[in-house]
Structure 1
Amino acid sequence: MSEMKNFFFDFDSTLADTRNVAVLSTQRAYEAQGLAIPSREAVVSYMGVPIEVSFAKMAKEDLSDQDLEDLYTVFRSQYHVTEQEGITLFDGIATALEQLTQRGANLYVVSSKHSVPLRRNLDQVGLNGTFAAVSGSDTVDHYKPAPDGIWNLVTRFDLDLAESVMIGDAKYDMQMGHNAGVATAAAMWGAADPDSVKAEQPTYLLKTPADLLTI
């Protein structure tokens, strides 16, 4: 297999450990709106899925479109506050990205997050200048596991699918990579449900960020 040149990274639980921030922000938003608070397990199980899809599913109540819009707004403001409490890069990520860059690889982020908080979070963890471009949920017509986020970047930068790999911690990332026609790499250091990720038969199974240098 040829050496990979184009690396598409998920952000949450792949580059950075954001699980506590996501759980707290979600629970606080539901509580602020007087709704039944989803369990930590429920929130974690939907990580990697845009809030536009997951929030209605996690709600015990029937919510109108306006209720949901209000919930998204409260969540985003909560996230802005909560992210100050701790988004951290996984050990070894910064070094691996630096070495990939030195190797001449092209690095991108494809996330279910909106581009604005995504860029803010990248800045916060010191990765602002590391990626050639980001693709957030606001830049696609169809969310993961649809291939839109990857294809947008492939088209924009004229990338070769055969030299491209999607790296993520969730089954949705693996499905997205398969649907886009690129290789897939499971970031097992952040996987909340390792079995569901392995079930997608990723091209590469990575135990630590240093393993990125082997693909």
Structure 2
Amino acid sequence: MPNKIKLIIFDFDGTLGDTRRNIVTTMQMTIAEHQLPYRNEDECASVIGLPLAGCFKTLFPNIQEELITRCSETYRRIFNENLKKIQPQAFPGVVDTLAALHQKGIVLTIASSRSRNSLTELTHNMGIADYISLLLGADDVKEAKPKPEPVLKTLAAMHFDASETLVVGDMAVDIMMGANAGAKTCGVTWGNGTEEELKEARPEFIIDRIEDLLKIVNYRI
């Protein structure tokens, strides 16, 4: 018999938090500081969701490992500086929807490619920390999205089965991560990925409003 959803694993950037401006600005400032070739907004946004090393490797395929390390350190420094000027906000409907899901007894967690410390600060600032039972950052796993480790590690920690789990994200790597772990998946159209990219990843659901999750959790899937 199909299972009802008991656990939702959210991506953060582009799914819960509107961080695109922060990320793109920080990436472009990092690129400029290290005198690398210019990358425009769409190019920088296309790597959101990847670990930092993967971002720089994708934007600059011939970049040396030593420079990746220095760029990553610069990015983290500039991002924290920019937070004082550009405070990311939760997307419309996120706070109320997470509150409603939490009230229904759905366990909510986050699996992100940013660090756990950053997730802790941002979820607190956005007013959603009280609804999240587990934060899993890039520093908590050895193999990042689209590998299944973030989902599998969450399932082990929270004592759920993949069959009762929904992974929600705005990028194809989120959908692939969930599918690779055997979970159900849901793409969201308000983030950084395109609807075409999401459809190619073949999630069970694609939604235009986060409130639609309240309907999905009532299904047996």
**TM-score, scaled to structure 1:** 0.95
Counterpart position of 1:37: 38
Query: How far is 1:66 from its partner?
Result: 2.1
Q: Is the 8 A contact 1:170 1:192 kept in 2?
A: yes
- Measure the CA separation in 2 of the matches of 1:166 and 1:8: 5
Q: Name the amino acid aligned to 1:83.
A: L
Q: Any idea what the Cα deviations from partners look like across 1:68-121, whole Å, max 9, x if unmatched?
A: 111111100111122331311111011110000000000000001111111111
Determine helix, strand or coil for the equivalent of 1:186: strand
Counterpart position of 1:82: 82
Query: How far is 1:192 from its partner?
Result: 3.1
Large movers: runs of 4+ above 3 Å = none
Q: Is the 8 A contact 1:185 1:204 kept in 2?
A: yes
Give runs of aligned pairs for residues 1-215 of structure 1, distance below 5 A: 1-59=2-60, 62-84=62-84, 85-215=86-216
Question: Over aligned residues, Cα RMSD in angstroms?
Answer: 1.3
Q: 1:161 to 1:192 in 2, by over 3 A?
A: closer
Determine helix, strand or coil for the equivalent of 2:42: helix
- Measure the CA separation in 2 of the matches of 1:192 and 1:147: 19
Q: Is the 8 A contact 2:48 2:192 kept in 1?
A: no
Identity rate of aligned residues, in percent?
25
Q: Is the 8 A contact 2:56 2:68 kept in 1?
A: yes
Q: Mean Cα displacement is larger for which, 37-46 or 7-16?
A: 37-46
User: Which structure 1 residue ranges, 5 or more long, are not aligned?
Assistant: none
Q: Any idea what the Cα deviations from partners look like across 1:9-52, whole Å, max 9, x if unmatched?
A: 00000001111110000000111112222211111111111111
**TM-score, scaled to structure 2:** 0.92
Query: How far is 1:54 from its partner?
Result: 1.7
- Measure the CA separation in 2 of the matches of 1:191 and 1:23: 11
Q: Is the 8 A contact 2:56 2:63 kept in 1?
A: no
- Measure the CA separation in 2 of the matches of 1:199 and 1:59: 25
Q: Is the 8 A contact 2:46 2:192 kept in 1?
A: no
